[in-house]
Structure 1
Amino acid sequence: MSQGSNSEAKWLTAWYGKKRWVYTLLPLEGLFRLLSYVRRIITVRWLQKNIGLPVIVVGNISVGGTGKTPLIIALVNRLQKRGLKVGVISRGYGSAAPQYPYVVSESSSATEAGDEPLSIWRATGCAVCIDADRVAAARILKNAGCDVLLSDDGLQHYRLGRTLEIAVIDAARGFGNGHCLPVGPLREPRSRLKGVDFVVVNQTSLESDIVYKRDYYNMRLQPQHWFKVKDLTHLPLDHLLAGTHVHAVAGIGNPNRFFSTLGKLGLTPECHIYRDHHTFTRENFQFRQVLPVVMTSKDAVKCQTFAEPEWLALEVEAVLEKRFWPAFEHALEALFPYE
């Protein structure tokens, strides 16, 4: 198994493996929590901007990926079925756009837009605007005629006012050692979840025994199909037969979830792990053993320009337990009542 970032792995192992040495940083955690609390109070009371459109924030309280992107895609699809014009706001981590705010288009590259915004645009066709200044991005989308906005990973970006908040938890990792940075992986204490409208738990399956609270909603990521990284051609899941050994490349927040999914498809992955949002190059794929190469759809957008014709990416869909959608529709009813 290759490793893309030793320093990142060290911190993740400490937080989620509950290593004792991190507790020497407890004074820094206290300072972090104090500054975060003061910043939130000041921003919400005096600096927050409401742009006159419903804003649904989808984020998390921990460092790393939790499955937000597939959930955002599912929410966009649901809102579009209502006939609403949806816009998505993203910070665009790792993007190098010619200017900001930057609106994703057909000509956008992963370098310009970043992996997650481009993945969302390709999956939904909705308007996606990138800017670290989320208020500026929101105004661009409002002027473009959007009816409702989704803010990707915007839970701690309090300057942008919000109508609904959805927090996502990765059930496999949970809250680590339960501490805030730098002692643990939390951006905000667990008590923050009491103030959000929905908590979605990304599980391996909806039948998992892991249950945080009765009012939390379970979600799983279900494989849909393969597609060729080079030209986006769709292929069925049985295109790779059970027992096939593959090079599995992942530069996402929780790569083990991807590898586990491959195992459930009957594949045997040779795992190659890189840090979240890693910028891939052709050299990252110089493997000694000749095997099929597979990756996530999020990573595929960064590899399309140099991909070999046979490289594959796995498309997944967020499947939420049945009781989530009535609750979400009820929340929407106050914003967009049916005529």
Structure 2
Amino acid sequence: MKRQFEQWLLEVWYGQRWLAKYLLLPLTALYCLLNALNRWQQQRQQIQHPVPVIVVGNLTAGGTGKTPLVIWLVELLRQAGYQPGVVSRGYQRQAAGLGDEPLLIMQRTSVPLVVDHERNRAISTLLQQHGCNIVIADDGLQHYRMGRTLEICVVDGQRQWGNGWCLPAGPLREPVTRLQSCDFVVVNGTTMQMRGETLVALTGNITQPLSALAGQQVHAVTGIGNPQRFKLMLEAAGLLVTLHPYPDHHAFTGEELQFDDDLPVLITEKDAVKCREYAIPNAWYLPVEAVLADGFAQAVLSRLQGVPHG
């Protein structure tokens, strides 16, 4: 039932369910009013921190490619001499777990990371326990009680704003005009590209070039915000893809990765962090890295110059 409801919402936001959209508009008006009041109240209580805080977020519900950008920023800041840390709310995490994105960030970077829905508390813990001198807040654009030095908004270059309405009639958390106050806007698919060239076996450390499967039929199983992005990436490498999309942050079972054939099964690295316990032969995940437009790295570092960082 939940999966069907989420699919229906996506059709309202990005499809042709016009009647449903208009029926939801009264709720959208209420959402916008309450959201504006909440923002005003949080900004009055905003807490500033003794180190720079870079917020990476988006305006739409669902994934836009923030995690690869956070990983890219961690490496950029390290190369520039900073000691970065990351805070996250750990969306849909288990009680003792981190959540998909934080776990992936830690595995790829070994960066100090604190998961807490209260971002200011997470930052304080990070500074006290790890001595970081700059913080990246993953998915914190709407957490206005948290002071910030820079805001980077990530936009899905394929879906963009959907029907252009705020929740629940549309996918927007805030109106598009919010971009005017962001320091940087990164568009996934244009100013930021995802590069993935090597497949890793889910059952071990065996690798093979993605290009080795060119011309072959494969199953692509996803639990991400925009599964079409993954499908297009595989097709661009010459693969013949049968897509099996599940909702974002889906908790996979081993059976959902098995089919009545011996075709390769490909999943994203984000999904792989939840599926490594499944010993499924011929299952592979594709690590990707963000490639940013020329000059973006220097622009970010330039904005940080002169900002005290402990």
Residues 148-190 of structure 1: per-residue CA shift (max 9 Å, x gap): 1111111011121111100010010010111101111100001
The separation in 1 between residues aligned to 2:235 and 2:268, in whole angstroms, is 14
Q: Do the aligned partners of 1:224 and 1:317 also contact (CA within 8 Å) in 2?
A: no
**Counterpart for residue 209 of structure 1:** none
Deviation at 1:233, TM superposition (A): 4.0
Check if 1:305 corresponds to 2:277.
yes
Q: Structure 1: which 5+ runs fail to align? A: 99-111, 207-217
Map residues 78-117 of structure 1 onto 2, 5 A cutoff: 78-98=76-96, 112-117=97-102
Deviation at 1:18, TM superposition (A): 4.3
**Counterpart for residue 38 of structure 1:** 37
Deviation at 1:326, TM superposition (A): 2.3
The separation in 1 between residues aligned to 2:18 and 2:2, in whole angstroms, is 24
**Counterpart for residue 134 of structure 2:** 148
The separation in 2 between residues aligned to 1:285 and 1:320, in whole angstroms, is 32
Deviation at 1:269, TM superposition (A): 1.5
Percent identity for Structure 1 against Structure 2: 47
Residues 166-217 of structure 1: per-residue CA shift (max 9 Å, x gap): 00100100101111011111000011111110000111xx4xxxxxxxxxxx
Check if 1:266 corresponds to 2:238.
yes
Check if 1:134 corresponds to 2:119.
yes
Summarize the Cα distance change of 1:18–1:335 in structure 2 as closer, same or farther, 3 Å threshold.
Answer: farther
C-alpha RMSD over aligned residues: 1.7
Which of the residues 86, 92, 106 maps onto 1:121? Answer: 106
| 1:319 aligned counterpart, secondary structure | strand
The separation in 1 between residues aligned to 2:244 and 2:2, in whole angstroms, is 8
The separation in 1 between residues aligned to 2:134 and 2:26, in whole angstroms, is 41
**Counterpart for residue 296 of structure 1:** 268
The separation in 2 between residues aligned to 1:87 and 1:234, in whole angstroms, is 30
Which of the residues 4, 7, 14 maps onto 1:6? Answer: 4
| 2:11 aligned counterpart, secondary structure | helix
Which of the residues 158, 163, 174 maps onto 1:172? Answer: 158
Deviation at 1:336, TM superposition (A): 6.4
Partner amino acid, structure 2, of 1:236: P
Summarize the Cα distance change of 1:146–1:176 in structure 2 as closer, same or farther, 3 Å threshold.
Answer: same
Partner amino acid, structure 2, of 1:223: G
Q: Do the aligned partners of 2:64 and 2:225 also contact (CA within 8 Å) in 1?
A: yes
The separation in 2 between residues aligned to 1:128 and 1:170, in whole angstroms, is 25
Check if 1:189 corresponds to 2:175.
yes
The separation in 2 between residues aligned to 1:29 and 1:241, in whole angstroms, is 45
| 2:241 aligned counterpart, secondary structure | strand
Partner amino acid, structure 2, of 1:243: G
Q: Do the aligned partners of 1:88 and 1:126 also contact (CA within 8 Å) in 2?
A: yes
Q: Do the aligned partners of 1:89 and 1:152 also contact (CA within 8 Å) in 2?
A: yes
Q: Do the aligned partners of 1:193 and 1:199 also contact (CA within 8 Å) in 2?
A: yes
Which of the residues 192, 200, 209 maps onto 1:236? Answer: 209
Partner amino acid, structure 2, of 1:35: L
| 1:301 aligned counterpart, secondary structure | helix
The separation in 1 between residues aligned to 2:106 and 2:52, in whole angstroms, is 20
Q: Do the aligned partners of 1:64 and 1:276 also contact (CA within 8 Å) in 2?
A: yes
Q: Do the aligned partners of 1:73 and 1:123 also contact (CA within 8 Å) in 2?
A: yes
**Counterpart for residue 211 of structure 1:** none
Check if 1:200 corresponds to 2:177.
no
| 1:300 aligned counterpart, secondary structure | helix
Would you say how many aligned residue pairs link Structure 1 and Structure 2? Answer: 307
**Counterpart for residue 319 of structure 1:** 291
The separation in 2 between residues aligned to 1:334 and 1:97, in whole angstroms, is 40
Q: Do the aligned partners of 1:247 and 1:271 also contact (CA within 8 Å) in 2?
A: yes
| 1:288 aligned counterpart, secondary structure | coil
Summarize the Cα distance change of 1:232–1:116 in structure 2 as closer, same or farther, 3 Å threshold.
Answer: farther
Which of the residues 59, 62, 77 maps onto 1:61? Answer: 59
Partner amino acid, structure 1, of 2:307: L
Deviation at 1:139, TM superposition (A): 1.1
Which of the residues 131, 135, 145 maps onto 1:159? Answer: 145
Deviation at 1:4, TM superposition (A): 8.7
Q: Structure 2: which 5+ runs fail to align? A: none
The separation in 2 between residues aligned to 1:53 and 1:186, in whole angstroms, is 30
**Counterpart for residue 210 of structure 1:** none
Q: Do the aligned partners of 1:18 and 1:176 also contact (CA within 8 Å) in 2?
A: no
